[in-house]
Amino acid sequence: MTNNSNKVNIAMLASGTGSNVLNFINYFRIHSRIKIALVISNKPDAQVLKKAEMLNVPSVYIEKAKWNDPKYLLDIFKKHNIDFIVLAGFLSLVPAFLIQEYPNKIVNIHPALLPKFGGKGMYGMNVHKAVIDSKEDKSGISIHYVNEEYDKGRIIFQASLFVSANDTPETLAKKVQKLEHEHYPRVIEGLF
């Protein structure tokens, strides 16, 4: 913990609907050690920004060009005393200077069992379609540290589920999302 309050301040980065962000906000709403202090999106119309606003969590949209501006970006993290960063459906590469500023303090969740079905372009339904197409009998979630490459950082936690013959990418996505909501906040909580 590096800020003045006695809680770990987490910033969440997301680009889309933000069901995981919502789940985190609810999970940590009354928590002795951890606070969701900021939600950041790189999409101006992302639903996640509205969700954060409704729940009175500070949120900010950062346009594409500013993600390459260390001073601009780091000032935002400093202003909110951010200690740790959690990605949940953030569809851009995290800039290298941010990774250097937060070594082993940035975590992502991937909706499959890495190292399979990861890398550039492997997000959302693309992942679940690829899993179904390759007739895998298992899928799941991977929670990992973020480094300079998509989905390549050290894995912290994985949980798996069975893919049935009747599963479609859509039904698989629902099952994986349930697993994400069940584990992701608990795994982060366990880091502190």
Return the residue of 105, 110, 175, 183 that touches ligand GRF, per CB under 6 A.
Answer: 110
Where do the H-state alpha helices sit in the chain? 19-27, 47-54, 70-79, 96-101, 124-133, 169-189
Q: Which residue type does 86 have?
A: V
Report the nearest approach of ligand GRF to the CB of residue 20 (Å): 3
CB atoms within 10 A of CB 126: 13
Q: Which stretch binds ligand GRF (CB under 6 A): 26-34, 51-59, 109-117, 149-157?
A: 109-117
Residues 15-34, one symbol each (x = binds ligand GRF by CB under 6 A, - = not), give -xxxxx--------------
Residue 109 touches ligand GRF, criterion: CB under 6 A: yes
Report the nearest approach of ligand GRF to the CB of residue 67 (Å): 17
Where do the H-state alpha helices sit in 42-92? 47-54, 70-79
Q: Which stretch binds ligand GRF (CB under 6 A): 10-18, 25-33, 50-58, 148-156?
A: 10-18
Check if the beta carbon of residue 13 is closer than 8 Å to that of residue 36. Answer: no
Gap between the Cα atoms of 97 and 172, Å rounded: 35
Contacts of 51 (CB under 8 A, 6+ apart): 18, 21, 22, 25, 39
| CB closer to ligand GRF, 50 vs 79 | 50
Q: Which of 31, 80, 110, 128 is catalytic?
A: 110
Reply yes or no on whether 31 is catalytic: no
Return the residue of 83, 136, 167, 180 that touches ligand GRF, per CB under 6 A.
Answer: 180
| CB closer to ligand GRF, 14 vs 146 | 14
Gap between the Cα atoms of 9 and 28, Å rounded: 11
